[in-house]
Amino acid sequence: MPHEVRMPQLGMTQDSGVIVAWLKAEGDAVAQGDPLIEVETDKATVEVEAQAAGFIAGLRAAEGDDVPVGDVIAVIVSSEAEIADHASSGKPSAPAITEPEPAPEEKAEPPAAATPDIGDVAEPSPAPPTPPAAPATGKVLASPKAKRLALERGIDLTSLRGQGLREPFHARDLDHIATGGHSVLTAEVAGNAMTALLAASTETMGRQLFAAFAAGAWRSLFATDDAGIAIKALDGTVTTIGRADEPIVLTLVDLCDTRLTTYAPAGGGVTLCVARRTDRYDLTLSFAETGLPLPHAAALLDDIAARVEDPIRQLL
Amino acid sequence: MREITLSQAVNEAIAEEMRRDETVFLIGEDVAEAGTPFKVLSGLVEEFGTKRVIDTPIAEPGFMGIAVGAAMTGARPIVDLMFGDFLYLVMDQLCNQAAKTHYMSGGKLKVPLVLRTNLGATRRSAAQHSQSLQALVAHIPGLKVAMPSSAYEAKGLMKTAIRDDNPVVIFEDKLMYQDKAPVPEEEFLIPFGKANVLREGSDITLIGTSSMRQVCEKAADLLADDGISADVIDPRTIVPLDDETLLASARKTSRVIVVDEGHQSYGVTAEIASRINEKAFYHLDAPVIRMGAMDVPVPFSPALEDLTVPTPEGVLENARKLVAGELIHAA
């Protein structure tokens, strides 16, 4: 089975990478860990190492090509004889979830036996509709008084987004912010079913699936139709899921392909962090109890955890 | 306390001042025998005679000019302009002469003149007898502008106006002449530049001039049913304007609606809203809303005319939006 070399995601918001240089040529032997290509992102140029030993075959991108994250750019075959089988004209296979660089053990994880045919399930895509233009990039709408009070109290008004409040923000909205800190709840969820499901999805689809579960839990728990979700990347950019007029009730932070486990923003807001472990997901909900009382927060996280644990039921 | 009509209050104020100061006289159309179309001045000619209550021909620029000259030479004329709409006829005498003489004479001359006239629509008087033109004269430096909101204010402000050494234009709402209010028997004056806080609340400030004070009070009653408490303030004079009281209220409630019956554009409401924006900006939790008459000639059709002026229901609707924190892009 040849090993597919894909364009890695080297930054949270990176959509593609430019191949600056191939450090190996087709037919070259490589050892695991050998520098393979130099990739330039919008931030840096990075050497990408081979994740498997063997021979380089089927180069599908040339130097200077801008390749979408997840696209196959070459394969590593185990014997010289197989090189010819992977001629460089091959059609790139569908994008897949980025191979996590420092997580080789995951590759060994077989798909859960209990999981039915993943392909069928993934077909009716659970991804929510295209998110509206993210308001997060625009100016925060707030009254002059709210702006003054925020300044006096050291509150970043953008942190009011993701708390179920509609803009423009007013003075009373600042009361939703507990300036003193936040509460944290954590859930550990068996991850086999979700991991198997995500193996067939892109990273973006994975995030949208987590966001959809969070929105679903929020809607059913609080009997509302208004449950917009913001997806915050570690570089600070925010995209939103939901109708344009829907208030953002929760911010999702996907830490699956990092070593990080929790991000709880100062200034409150309801934030859900998703981190992947070998066989489980750690879900962390941080919240201000003034805005979301503990019983509600606990029920919310439990509901989300149940959905992550048994994603197929949610999708069917 | 006894209650008298606004008409009686004006009559009393003028009579008292004419008794007190023999240089005070009345001049205008139908002021003597007819006592004006609104019967405000009935009985004055009987007491003070035709030399101090002077009927004129239908010639507004003429009698206005006479009054300015008389004021410059020691008298204290009260000019009766039958309708506020006729201000256009006396603009030069009022704005170029009366308003500027004290300044241009280096303080040697003064023009202690009162121009009493009226404002207000919904009397079915059509476009040329229904205007509220207070903004027009409030714009001119050198003129003071009073806007009584009840019989009590009508009396107290009129007496202050007559005693003021500057030209004062006083606008009475022609629909309020028969409205009664408690007015003390004993003498009193209401100082210019001192707003009247009619009721205190915490959620919103409603500022209403003249009869718009009653509109604001009714709106405040309706808001109270919603659990929203309002400050209601009558500025009483728009020149000078009591910034301090208005700003203190704006800082307290963070939301303000200004109501005046002049046309909304370039009006009194705009001036007050602008001062609040400039001086209380960081206390505002919502844009200051202006509510004036529609920017149209006042229609003769009763059904249409009633739509052109601010109403308690309109103020209520805007107040609810402000308190709810809706996104406001005020017209």
The angle at the Cα of B129, spanning B128 to B131, to the nearest 5 degrees, equals 85
- Which residues of chain B does A144 touch, with a Cβ-Cβ cutoff of 8 Å? 281-285
Query: How far is B326 from B323, CA to CA, in rounded Å?
Result: 8
Do B282 and A146 make contact, defined as CB atoms within 8 angstroms?
no
Written as one letter, the residue type at B88 is Y
Judge whether A171 is closer than 8 Å to chain B, CB to CB: yes
Query: How far is A181 from A183, CA to CA, in rounded Å?
Result: 7
Backbone angles phi, psi at A79, to 5 degrees: -135, 155
B218 or A180: which leads in pLDDT: B218
Do B284 and A141 make contact, defined as CB atoms within 8 angstroms?
no
CA distances from B253 to B201, B259, B279 (A): 8, 17, 14
- Which residues of chain A does B282 touch, with a Cβ-Cβ cutoff of 8 Å? 144-145, 147-148
Q: What is the band of A181 on the pLDDT scale with cuts at 50, 70, 90? A: low
Beta-bridged to residue A286, according to DSSP, are A184, A271
Is residue A129 scored above 80 in pLDDT? no
pLDDT of chain B along its 331 residues, tens only? 999 999 999 999 999 999 999 999 999 999 998 888 888 999 999 999 999 999 999 999 999 999 999 999 999 999 999 999 999 999 999 999 999 999 999 999 999 999 999 999 999 999 999 999 999 999 999 999 999 999 999 999 999 999 999 999 999 999 999 999 999 999 999 999 999 999 999 999 999 999 999 999 999 999 999 999 999 999 999 999 999 999 999 999 999 999 999 999 999 999 999 999 999 999 999 999 999 999 999 999 999 999 999 999 999 999 999 998 887 765 4
Tokens 């202006």 sit on residue: B290
Backbone angles phi, psi at B251, to 5 degrees: -65, -35
Q: Counting beta carbons within 10 angstroms of the beta carbon of residue A151, is it exposed (0 to 12), middle (13 to 18) or buried (19 or more)?
A: exposed
Beta-carbon neighbour count of residue A108 at 10 Å?
Answer: 7
Q: Counting beta carbons within 10 angstroms of the beta carbon of residue A295, is it exposed (0 to 12), middle (13 to 18) or buried (19 or more)?
A: exposed
Do A171 and B285 make contact, defined as CB atoms within 8 angstroms?
yes
Judge whether B282 is closer than 8 Å to chain A, CB to CB: yes
Judge whether B41 is closer than 8 Å to chain A, CB to CB: no
Judge whether A43 is closer than 8 Å to chain B, CB to CB: no
B279 or A132: which leads in pLDDT: B279
Output the pTM of the full model.
0.64
Judge whether A151 is closer than 8 Å to chain B, CB to CB: no
Do A141 and B254 make contact, defined as CB atoms within 8 angstroms?
no
Average pLDDT, whole number, for chain A? 77
Task: Kindly provide the ipTM of the predicted complex, given to two decimals.
Answer: 0.71
Query: How far is B55 from B156, CA to CA, in rounded Å?
Result: 25
- Which residues of chain A does B327 touch, with a Cβ-Cβ cutoff of 8 Å? 141, 167-168
Choose the closest CB to B285 out of A166, A167, A170: A170
Is residue A73 scored above 90 in pLDDT? no
Q: What is the mean pLDDT of residues A46-50?
A: 84
Choose the closest CB to B254 out of A147, A171, A173: A171
CB B150, CB B213: distance < 8 Å: yes
Query: Which one, of B286, B292, B288, lies nearest residue B311 by Cα?
Result: B292
N- to C-terminal Cα separation, chain A: 33
Beta-carbon neighbour count of residue B326 at 10 Å?
Answer: 13
Interface test with B, best of A141, A143, A148, A151 (most B CBs within 10 A): A143
CB-based contacts of B128, cutoff 8 Å, min separation 6: B83, B85
Judge whether B254 is closer than 8 Å to chain A, CB to CB: yes
CB B115, CB B142: distance < 8 Å: no
Is residue A168 scored above 90 in pLDDT? no
Judge whether A107 is closer than 8 Å to chain B, CB to CB: no
The angle at the Cα of B283, spanning B277 to B286, to the nearest 5 degrees, equals 70
Q: Supply the pLDDT for residue A82.
A: 82
Helix (H, G, I), strand (E, B) or coil at B163: helix
For B283, nearest residue in chain A (alpha carbons): A145
Q: What is the band of A265 on the pLDDT scale with cuts at 50, 70, 90? A: confident
N- to C-terminal Cα separation, chain B: 43
Is residue A93 scored above 50 in pLDDT? no
Give the model confidence (pLDDT) of A50-66 as tens digits: 888 888 888 888 888 88
Judge whether B284 is closer than 8 Å to chain A, CB to CB: yes
The set of catalytic residues of B is 60, 129
Query: Which one, of B174, B149, B171, B144, lies nearest residue B236 by Cα?
Result: B149
Do B327 and A168 make contact, defined as CB atoms within 8 angstroms?
yes
CB B35, CB B15: distance < 8 Å: no
Q: Supply the pLDDT for residue A116.
A: 42
Question: Can you give the three-state secondary structure of chain A, one letter per residue?
Answer: CCEEEECCCCCCCCCEEEEEEECCCCCCEECCCCEEEEEECCCCEEEEECCCCEEEECCCCCCCCEEECCCEEEEEECCHHHHHHCCCCCCCCCCCCCCCCCCHHHHCCCCCCCCCCHHHHHCCCCCCCCCCCCHHHCCCCECHHHHHHHHHHCCCHHHHCCCCCCCCECHHHHHHCCCCCCEEEEEEEECHHHHHHHHCCCHHHHHHHHHHHHHHHHHHHHCCCCCEEEEECCCCCEEEECCCCCCEEEEEEECCCCCCCCCCCCCCCCEEEEEECCCEEEEEEEECCCCCCHHHHHHHHHHHHHHHHCHHHHHC
- Strand pairing class (B196-199; B76-80): unpaired
- The residues in B 146-175 lying below 8 A from A, measured between CB atoms, are none
- Which residues of chain B does A152 touch, with a Cβ-Cβ cutoff of 8 Å? none
- Strand pairing class (A54-57; A29-30): antiparallel
Q: Could you tell me what percent of chain A has a pLDDT over 90? A: 11
Q: Supply the pLDDT for residue A88.
A: 59
Chain centroid to CA B289: 20
